């Protein structure tokens, strides 16, 4: 006697699960230009690596004799898989079943997925499509009562943020809990025209009255106007915007390639084939002599870091700062860089917020930080004051001072004021190099000459000639070599030596970090 009958029933139930919400709803999903949940899982992870957990869970219907008539699968899929050959927890909402609403599912599946990640120290990837929340108003009538909201397993979501890399891909309209699950991550992505994020969707917002409505002509337009990627990848709610689901999967895999599998494990070095002693001639002329002329910091990143490894995060928000992952001689590092092409590189509130977030992320996952500096200061003016720039700027400064991972800074040009002092922790060993184009101080001289020399200029027969004379004298005083004489800066270098010196830093930084991991396994 065997268990063939039961295995036959198992296969039948698995076949029902693979139908998801049924042929019509799956076709509707595809018709919207969206992949279904099972196709997404297959496309995200290494080929053939996904092992589903709880596949036959769902809402079953039985006839009068107790025989199975059909199953509505739970609208949440998860399992163990590999990405780049490394184990992960992969999850996907199934929009074809009640729009991914949790009231159509089994809450324990989602909770178990989150538990699995931190208890087994595995990165987790959430593919979110739908509300993922407590369901509709109709649910209350079915229950017969209302309730104070609580999210089962949210403590596990928080624990994951503290212990393992969390990636979230918004792949459709995500509201309520779906939106919360998206932003509760270390790296998040939206697909342009396909993804929207909102605390509540257009229908709910419209019910609040005219003051809350937008001018959208239809529901699809309303979703974009309320929570499209053009909004949330510009305000910092979500990190990046991509053109397709395939690009979202590729970026998720790329992000994870830099990260350890859990806090306490070292990230991995790879062979990039880029010589550590490579010197780029173009760096010598990168920074213009004219102090108000801009240049491309991204071009600098491409020349300094291992070829093809710069992975920028958050390009569309906090634009005065560039945040990225990259490699130096194969070693993974976090990168912060000023962008002089936006606000002259001045840190406003959003840039400061972005820098704070990524410094904390680097420190949490123990990746060294490289900071390329050209910062004229925190943004000034009424709008900057209204935005609370100084508070956000000081928070970024505090994050840099609290970070305990090795940090190297390269001062390409400006470092002024409080923001200039936030570029590195002056109370630790300063692993710092400066280019001959360096220009620093408590206040930009160009903005303070007339004030500092007001009485002399007013008394002069030729104020313009005196002003030029003062400028010429101060140009000599502000030479970076004067600072180096007093050891106020450690070294002035040939810009072409930047990459070899940073590769040396990366090797020393990882030598220290690996000893840290050995001491606290």
- Mean pLDDT within 87-103: 84
- pLDDT score at 357: 98
* Average model confidence (pLDDT) across the chain: 90
Least confident of 150-154, 295-299, 413-417, 471-475: 471-475
Residues 104 and 203 in one domain: yes
Residue with tokens 């001289």: 445
Is 470 within a domain?
no
Please give the helix or strand (H or E) that residue 516 lies within, else none. Answer: helix 498-519
Give tens-digit pLDDT for 280-314: 999 999 999 988 899 999 999 999 999 999 999 99
Domain end marker among 224, 258, 292 = 258
Q: Which domain holds residue 56?
A: 4-258
On whether residue 183 sits in a domain, the answer given is: yes
Taking Cα atoms as reference points, which of 406, 426, 428 lies closest to residue 418? 426
pLDDT tens digits for range 451-504: 778 888 888 888 888 888 887 787 777 788 888 889 888 999 999 999 999 999
CA atoms within 13 A of residue 225's CA, in its CB half-sphere: 15
Domain termination site, one of 258, 293, 308: 258
Please indicate, yes or no, whether residues 296 and 396 belong to a single structural domain of this protein.
Answer: yes
User: What pLDDT does 186 receive?
Assistant: 98
Quick check: 59 and 71 in contact, CB under 8 A? yes
The pLDDT of 315-342, averaged and rounded, is 97
* pLDDT at residue 445 in the model: 65
Number of domain units in the chain: 2
Six-digit token pair at 49?
A: 């690596």
Instruction: State the pLDDT at residue 199.
Output: 81
The answer on 289 and 251 residing in a single domain is no
Q: Can you tell me the distance from the alpha carbon of 438 to that of 480, in angstroms, rounded to the nearest whole number?
A: 6
Residue 478, pLDDT score: 79
Q: What is the CATH number of the domain that holds 407?
A: 3.90.226.10
Q: What CA–CA distance (Å, rounded) separates 271 from 330?
A: 5
Task: Give domain status of residue 456, yes or no.
Answer: no
If one compares 101 and 378, the residue with the highest pLDDT of the two is 378
* Neighbouring C-beta atoms of residue 404, cutoff 10 Å: 10
Tens-digit pLDDT profile for residues 192-241: 999 999 887 666 655 555 545 555 555 667 788 888 999 999 999 999 99
Domain identity same for 203 and 330: no
Pair (191, 300) in one structural domain:
no
pLDDT, position 161: 98
Domain assignment present for residue 268? The answer is: no
Q: How far apart are CA 117 and CA 124, in angstroms?
A: 6
Domain-embedded: residue 466: no
Q: What's the chain's Rg over C-alpha atoms? A: 27
Instruction: Say what the pLDDT of residue 254 is.
Output: 98
For range 21-27, the mean pLDDT: 92
Identify whether 115 is part of a domain.
yes
| DSSP assignments along 408-453, one per residue | EEEEEEEEEHHHHHTSS-TTS--EEEE-TT-EEESS-GGGTHHHHT
pLDDT per residue as tens digits for the range 473-484: 877 777 888 888
Q: Give residue for tokens 């991204």.
A: 298
**Domain end marker among 211, 226, 258:** 258
Place of tokens 């025209």: 193
The whole-number pLDDT of residue 139 equals 67
**pTM for the full predicted model:** 0.91
Q: What mean pLDDT do residues 171-193 have?
A: 95
On whether residue 417 sits in a domain, the answer given is yes
Terminal-to-terminal C-alpha distance of the chain: 50
* Beta carbons within 8 Å of 181's beta carbon, 6+ residues apart: 126, 128, 132, 157, 168, 174
Contact predicate 307/480, CB 8 Å: no
Task: Name the least confident of 159-163, 357-361, 450-454.
Answer: 450-454
The DSSP element (H or E) to which 338 belongs, if any, is strand 331-338
**What is the pLDDT averaged over residues 392-407?**
96
Residues 490 and 429 reside in one and the same domain = yes
Same domain, residue pair 339 and 397: yes
Whether residues 371 and 503 fall in one domain:
yes
Asked if 305 and 342 sit in the same domain, the reply is yes
For residue 268, which of 88, 84, 431, 119 has the smallest C-alpha distance? 84
Helix, strand counts (H, E) of the chain: 21, 18
Percentage, residues of the chain above pLDDT 90: 70
**338 falls within a domain:** yes
Residue 518 buriedness (CB in 10 A; 0-12 / 13-18 / 19+): exposed
Q: Please tell me whether residues 201 and 312 are part of one structural domain.
A: no
Q: Are residues 213 and 305 in the same domain?
A: no
In this structure, the answer to whether residues 207 and 304 fall within a common structural domain is: no
| pLDDT beyond 70 at 9 | yes
174, 126 contact by CB (below 8 A) = no
């Amino acid at each position: 006697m065997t268990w063939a009958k039961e295995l036959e029933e198992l296969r039948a139930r698995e076949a029902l699960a693979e139908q998801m919400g049924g042929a019509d709803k799956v076709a509707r999903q595809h018709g919207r230009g969206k992949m279904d949940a099972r196709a997404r899982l297959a496309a995200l992870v290494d080929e053939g690596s996904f092992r589903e957990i709880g596949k036959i869970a769902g809402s079953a219907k039985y006839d009068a004799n107790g025989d199975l008539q059909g199953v509505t699968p739970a609208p949440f899929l998860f399992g163990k898989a590999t990405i780049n050959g490394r184990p992960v927890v992969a999850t996907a909402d199934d929009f074809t079943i009640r729009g991914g609403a949790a009231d159509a599912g089994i809450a324990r599946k989602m909770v178990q997925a989150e538990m699995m990640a931190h208890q087994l120290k595995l990165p987790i990837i959430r593919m979110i499509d739908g509300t993922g929340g407590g369901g509709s108003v109709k649910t209350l009538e079915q229950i017969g009562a209302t309730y104070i909201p609580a999210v089962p397993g949210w403590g596990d979501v928080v624990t994951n943020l503290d212990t393992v890399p969390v990636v979230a891909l918004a792949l459709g309209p995500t509201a309520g809990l779906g939106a919360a699950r998206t932003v509760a991550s270390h790296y998040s992505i939206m697909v342009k025209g396909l993804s929207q994020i909102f605390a509540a969707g257009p229908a709910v917002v419209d019910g609040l009255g005219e003051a809350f409505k937008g001018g959208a002509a239809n529901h699809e337009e309303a979703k974009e106007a309320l929570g499209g990627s053009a909004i949330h990848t510009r305000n910092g709610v979500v990190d990046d915007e991509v053109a397709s689901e395939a690009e979202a999967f590729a970026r998720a895999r790329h992000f994870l390639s830099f990260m350890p599998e859990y806090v306490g494990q070292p990230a991995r070095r790879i062979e990039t084939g880029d010589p550590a002693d490579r010197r780029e001639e173009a760096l010598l002329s990168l920074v213009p002599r004219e102090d108000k002329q801009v240049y491309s910091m991204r071009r600098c990143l491409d020349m300094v870091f291992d070829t093809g490894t710069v992975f920028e995060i958050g390009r569309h928000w906090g634009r005065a700062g560039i945040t990225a992952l990259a490699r130096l001689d194969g070693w993974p590092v976090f990168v912060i860089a000023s962008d002089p092409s936006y606000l002259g590189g001045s840190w406003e509130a959003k840039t400061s917020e972005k820098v704070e977030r990524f410094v904390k992320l680097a420190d949490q996952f123990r990746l060294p930080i490289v900071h390329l500096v050209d910062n004229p200061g925190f943004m000034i003016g009424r709008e900057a004051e209204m935005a609370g720039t100084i508070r956000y700027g000081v928070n970024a400064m505090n994050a840099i001072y609290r970070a305990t991972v090795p940090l190297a800074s390269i001062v390409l040009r400006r470092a002024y004021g409080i923001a200039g002092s936030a570029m590195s922790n002056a109370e630790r060993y300063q692993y710092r190099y400066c280019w001959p184009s360096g220009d620093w101080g408590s206040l930009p001289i160009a903005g303070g000459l007339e004030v500092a020399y007001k009485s002399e200029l007013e008394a002069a027969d030729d104020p313009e000639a005196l002003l030029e004379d003062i400028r010429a004298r101060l140009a000599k005083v502000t030479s970076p070599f004067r600072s180096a004489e007093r050891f106020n800066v450690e070294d002035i270098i040939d810009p072409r030596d930047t990459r070899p010196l940073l590769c040396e830093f990366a090797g020393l930084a990882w030598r220290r970090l690996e000893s840290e991991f050995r001491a606290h396994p």
